[in-house]
Structure 1
Amino acid sequence: MRRVRLVLSALLALVACPALAEIAPETRWSGPSKVSMDVVFPGDGYHATWDLYRCDCGDLLVHSELSESGNVEKGETLLVEGRAILYRGFPRHEAEYGASLDAPALMMQLAAQLLERLEPGGPSKVSGQVEREVTERKQHILLDTGTAVGTFQAPWKAAGMLAPGEDDQRRFDIRFDFSVVTGLGAQQASMRLKGKADYANAEFPVPATEPLERWNLAWRDSEDPAKEQAADLENLQQLRKLLSTKN
């Protein structure tokens, strides 16, 4: 009977502590297939929730929920071949929020850079919950999306929790302290970045057969040579094909 109890205890331990899926050691924090992140900005209570999906084809999809002073804007933005921007939602600020990926892209870059400093070994090194902290007095944080840039001047500080999630996920909760130069001089500020990154090959939510009529279309370059022909296309697959051949 004692032996049976020991076997049952071992089985229960295995159920309670499932094995972690293995992430390749060369994987960097900037390489997930999906990221879900909440960002609380300093000042007037602006809060953003973003879900970013990376397609094997190179496209990026962002689900956005933006909240300020009780007003909430929701929408989706899809960057196709790095050139065309499909967007929908954002009922009150469609053109401002929908036609640009700059805000979520800058914040995703910031999170990746902070995670690299908190755990330089990458996500594969996080096998249990850990608390990390880093203070930088000389090196600035430089962000660049190709259409927007951002800088956080040193000194700055990041402190956060890193932990495994389900399967190939890694969770993070980071407080980022930095300074902002105003007319009154340097002012201290902070923001919180909390979320999870999935390093498995997640399925892209938008199928290639997605009708373009369900989206608004904008261009990163207003003089893009594919702009005129795109007006006659019916679905996402056709748009990808056009952009891959029309330079």
Structure 2
Amino acid sequence: MTRLLAVDTSAGRGSVALLDGGSVRSVYSDQPRSHTRRLEPMINELLEQAGLQLGELDALAFGAGPGSFTGLRVTAGLVQGLAFGLRLPVVAVSSLRAMAHAVHSYLDAPTDVAVARDARMGELYWGLYRVTPDAVVAPLSPEALLSPKDLTMPEGTDDYLGVGDGWLLRDSIPETVLSRMGAIMTDVAPEAAAIARLGEVLLEQGEGVDAEAVQPVYLRDDVAWQGSA
């Protein structure tokens, strides 16, 4: 029975989730500028609800990005500090992959999902995944940072599910890409609950790392981050 705490502040909405024996409970914060002071009370709230202490956790997971520079830095710093203190493994979970995971409950068959997230500065974070109804999320291509006009689709599936607020920029996206979308869900964002579920799977696959190896993923080459190690 895995007990895993997951944190995500890669988007405007911050969230914390606790996976305990297969069930997940979550709390949220819609105050982006207060994530630094809100996360610890949110973690304590979840642990209190579950009747657990930090020392009873088996692992940590976090939304590693891509996403908000400040949000990723806050989460990575918090999780790294906890991991050092508790000597726990950490699983870095792609925020885009978590968005793909979030739609599995809507599916009745394996579906190719195209995640497009607004990266500001006229660009999109982009990722393609095969998602099954039982929440297996397999990457189909490397994640990328692209201009909407540069999006392309691989040969094959002509009925993708588009996910993420990046699809609101559809006027800038080539028709050859839009025509491959069978449906689009623009209101999906990264959440800690999905990161907890994916984190458990990745942990079982041996993808947990020590605290000193914790770092976010920005995709922009001109951004660097140094952990607290």
Instruction: Name the structure where helix makes up a greater proportion of residues.
Output: 2
TM range (shorter): under 0.3
Structure having the higher Rg: 1
Q: Return the structure number with greater relative CO, CA threshold 8 A, min gap 6.
A: 2
Instruction: Name the structure where strand makes up a greater proportion of residues.
Output: 1
Give the TM-score normalised by structure 2: 0.27
